[in-house]
A and B are shown apart, each in its own frame.
Chain A
Amino acid sequence: MLGYWDALYFVFVFIIGLILAYLLDKWAKRSGMGTRETGDGTKIFISGEDPDRIIPGFEHLEGNYTGRNVMWGLTYALKNFFAVLRRDHTGLLTDYASYLVITTAFVLGVLLIWG
């Protein structure tokens, strides 16, 4: 039934998640290129990227990106969107006031036509 959930469902989902993570870990260890369990000799599994090739700032565009760079991937993929947002947040008081006027005009227009 919509509107209700049972905490038990989340326990089940959590257990299934743990099993999947374990299986993924096993698979990754088998297919990964690392030579050690821990330390510098470890290669990142799944993505198989060589950490030495990663340039600080993540500017390189060749090869794969490692799992730890998911955040970079998100911001890189949406960089145009974020650039627009950044450009829009000028910090200028006049812009703040302009947006308030535009918002008021929009609400007023909608309410007068369809309200």
Chain B
Amino acid sequence: MNGETILPYLIIVPLFGAFSMPIISLAGRKAREAWAVIISGITLLVGSAVFHSVYENGPMLYTLGAKSPFGKANFPVRIVWEVDLLSALMVLMVTLVAFLAVLYSLGYMKHDTGLDKYYTLILILELGMLGIAITGDLFNFYVFLEIMSIASYALVAFRNDTWEGIEAGIKYMFVGSIASSLVLLGIALLYGQYGTLTMGYLAVKIAQNPTVVAKVALAFFIAGLLFKSGASPVHMWLADAHPAAPSSISAMLSGLVIKIGGVYALARILFSIYGSSVNMKTVGWVIIIFACITLIVGNAMAVIQTDMKRLLAYSSVGQIGYILLGIGIGLAAYGSRTGDIALAGAIYHTFNHALMKALLFLIAGAVIHELGTRNLNELSGLAKTMPKTTFAFLIGAAAIVGLPPLNGFASKWLIYESSAMFNPILATIAVIGTAFCTAAYVRVLYTFFGKPSEKVMNARDPDATMLWPMIILALAIIVMGLFPWQISDKVMIPVAKALENQLGYIATLMGGA
């Protein structure tokens, strides 16, 4: 079976799984849980196969409802799914973390009710993200963005017995909808001006006739997607929404949603659509400015949190700053070696952070599950009673701080190095951000390894369904850390090159004729 044949199953499988969930749920709790694991497991297999196929055979193009994107017109008119190496990597990341989140949910959500809705939403969230990663059509992208966003709003407010979830969900939905509207407005402007929604063909049309309308649309895209990424100063929703969601969902929101719906979408639009049509230096510097604010504000806010999940949420904001810094330098130094390294670092850190932050949120969930609190002041001495969980936290924290030889080091190093080559002041800001990040995580570790408080004495490590996803993520972090440059050279640099190669993206679309 070749890549193009299996690609639709990336959407079909979770879509079928989500909508059949209420029916399967009639057969009981065990059937529902097994169904969720099977569906997300099959999606992981399909995602791995898609990645393997793209890695071996190059980009793939799938036209919906026709053999060619041209249909009967003389320009690409059909909806296309275009998967290059970056998309494929994102697909692998989404399917892997989503599978582990579903597995973790079996133990974590066992005391909750309404789980048919929960598993339906989690699969819809996954398919929304997968759609964003693979689509080559701008309106199709918007549809998947909304599918992902609406599932996220609902999941943030899933535990509606507390005010926190509902308030966070409403805030997230309200401002998230404004951000989505900006993206939709950008798409409408481009469609009105150029008469096409196919990303590759839009790139050609904008390059032929770059107009003010295209720039206005770009501004709307950047603003809307910076919001979805959780970049500062439009990050405040994230610190409300991510801690309020159940921890398995927090892992997906912080690990995946802000990457796919934010930085990936931003990078795709900036490089694949606008690549040769705007002043890359200006756009790059705009992103860099937001990146610097983000990595300082996010990491600094993490230092002063007493709520463990809120600390992790602010830390996610900080890490998005590093990814945006890499993308910004990749744009501003487009075509140079510095730009390549920065972009590879950004993509590498996107993948690494998905693993690290998923792990840390799953750990936070295990702690909440056992102790019913996420207040750091009450978690002193946790290492004594939850040693495996604490060890996993140690791995995750060390990786996110960028301690060698874990995976976070390699990606951060690439970002530091490229920023030092591009502008040493940026490297200094990045290091200051890391100093804050270190302070925030050392504080948690200090708490965990401190004198055991009475509250933690009865806690114990969670059961296997919750522990295994954490172990798998911790192992992935360690193993990826052992081969940093092999991964960088064989995967991340080619992915960065694929993203930069706008002509290749267009050729894949046109070659499908």
- Contact residues of A with B, CB < 8 Å? 2-5, 7, 10, 71, 74-75, 78, 81-82, 85-86, 88-89, 91, 93, 95-97, 99-100, 102-104, 107-108, 110-112, 114-115
Contact = CB atoms under 8 A, between A and B. Distances in A.
B186 to A, nearest CB: 11
B51 to A, nearest CB: 25
Which 6 pairs between the two chains have the least Cβ-Cβ distance?
A: A104-B223, A108-B219, A114-B282, A107-B219, A99-B233, A96-B175
Interface string B155-195: 00000000000000011001100110010000000000000
Contact of B227 (A89, A100, A108, A115): A100
Interface of B: 170-171, 174-175, 178-179, 182, 212, 215-216, 218-220, 222-224, 226-227, 233-234, 236-237, 239-240, 278-279, 282-283, 286, 290, 297, 300-301, 303-304, 341, 404-405, 413-414, 417, 421, 439, 442-443, 446, 484-485
Contacts of B240: 91
Contacts of B239: 89
Contact of B234 (A86, A99, A112): A99
Contacts of A104: 182, 219-220, 223-224
Contacts of B414: 3
A97 B175 contact: yes
A115 B300 contact: no
Contacts of A71: 439, 442-443, 446
A9 B236 CA distance: 40
B279 A5 contact: no
21 contacts: A74-B439, A75-B303, A82-B304, A85-B301, A100-B227, A100-B234, A103-B233, A104-B224, A107-B222, A107-B286, A108-B220, A110-B282, A110-B286, A111-B215, A111-B222, A111-B286, A112-B215, A112-B216, A115-B215, A115-B278, A115-B283
Contacts of B421: 2
Secondary structure of the A contact surface, majority rule:
helix
A25 B472 CA distance: 38
A96 B234 contact: yes
Contacts of B404: 5, 7, 10
A89 B236 contact: yes
Contacts, number: 106
A3 B421 CA distance: 11
A101 B511 CA distance: 41
Given A71-B446, A111-B286, A115-B283, A7 B405 contact: yes
Contacts of B220: 104, 108
Nearest to A6: B485
Nearest to A78: B300
B223 A115 contact: no
Contacts of A93: 170-171, 174-175
B341 A3 contact: yes
A111 B405 contact: no
B125 to A, nearest CB: 22
A5 B413 contact: yes
Contacts of B236: 89, 91, 95-96, 99
A10 B398 CA distance: 15
A5 B417 CA distance: 11
Contacts of A99: 233-234, 236
Contacts of A96: 171, 174-175, 234, 236-237
A11 to B, nearest CB: 9
Given A100-B234, A107-B226, A114-B279, 9 more contacts: A3-B341, A71-B446, A75-B304, A93-B170, A93-B175, A96-B174, A97-B175, A108-B216, A111-B286
